[in-house]
Amino acid sequence: MMNFSRIGWQEARAMLAEYGEDGVHIVDVRDEGAYEAGHVENAIHLSGSNVAEFVQTADPDKPVLVYCYHGNSSQSAAAYLAEQGFDAAFSIDGGYETYHDKLTV
């Protein structure tokens, strides 16, 4: 069974710097209104309506950085993506509300 890892924003930022924007998937699992109000640059809004399409079309070899509001819901989403075959799924501790300004490269 595949598993996910929990990382902080500093680690997520370093991973983004290392792999570049095209080398990772950044996934926002907050509600659509929150995503529309502001999200990490290049983040994909993932919800029940598009998760199957993401799983089918996204490159499972790229790391997936998942964030939510505070770092709780992202753990379930990262675990699900790991179960779907994503080799490196990461839940970002703290979520968007606390650390949204720390991901810019």
- 62 is an active site residue: no
Catalytic residue among 16, 29, 40, 68: 68
* Alpha-carbon distances of 15 from 32, 50, 56, 73, 89, rounded to whole Å: 26, 25, 23, 21, 12
- The residues carrying an active-site annotation are 68
